Homo-oligomer: A and B are copies of this chain.
Amino acid sequence: MGPVYTTAANVSERQLAPPSLAISTVIFALRPSERSGRPTLWIPLVRRIREPFKGLWALPGGPLTHSESLQDAASRNLRETTGLAPNYLEQLYAFGGLHRSPSQRVVSIVYWALVQPTEAALADESENVRWFRADRLGELAFDHNTIIDYALWRLRNKMAYGSIAYHLLGEYFTLAQVREVYEAVLDRELDPANFRRQIKAAPEIEETDQYLQGGKHRPPRLYRFTGRPGLDPDNRSTP
């Protein structure tokens, strides 16, 4: 008979145990900055209530339940911490360094998600769940700063190439709103006229007959996104 592993084993037995597997999720949403009012990237984090890194903020996550797929697990801990459903969800990377966690070997499969924040999301804030500006994070638990850096890199990349910005917006949007998303994520200003030209060239963008009223200026036309997300192996069912 093979070796016996226990969850409450002593150290030598733990050495033999297989690395444990966890799922974490980097969740991005836009919120207007307090000062400028322009949209900025925010991320929800949870406070660790036990060692290691007790008291520090960390990515939402948890162990993988036996009966759910990786993506479902990510989706679940997204819902549990924010009350939101993801608009976009993609696997980021599997982190498996030897010393990510001081006590035991943990392999984390990390997903990243785009959501639209609603009142519900803000209501879900509590002592142990809080939203932070993505560019103003302190020191986080484990290697979560590294993970978020990589997620940001991936987001910027996908934004520059793919058509992903729309998943941070509602169903209808103006081209200026799309531009603001790009500006927030890429952190640089874009020429409005040139940006229009490029976006309108994409076949996934559909002009509507509606206009957004209420501004102190000419009302902009509303558009909608008709494309599909995925290229992941898990998302390729709808090509």
Residues of A within 8 A of B (CB): 1-8, 15-21, 63-64, 66-70, 91, 93-98, 105, 107, 109, 146-147, 150, 153, 231-234
Docked CA distance A64–B10 (Å): 21
Add 20 more A-B contacts to A18-B66, A68-B98 (CB < 8 A): A1-B6, A2-B6, A2-B7, A4-B4, A4-B6, A5-B7, A17-B66, A18-B18, A18-B20, A18-B21, A19-B21, A19-B64, A21-B21, A69-B96, A70-B94, A93-B232, A93-B233, A94-B94, A146-B233, A153-B231
- Number of this chain's copies in the complex: 2
Q: Distance in Å from the Cβ of A54 to the closest Cβ of chain B?
A: 21
Q: Within 8 Å CB of A1, what residues of B?
A: 6, 8
Docked CA distance A167–B199 (Å): 36
Q: Distance in Å from the Cβ of A16 to the closest Cβ of chain B?
A: 7
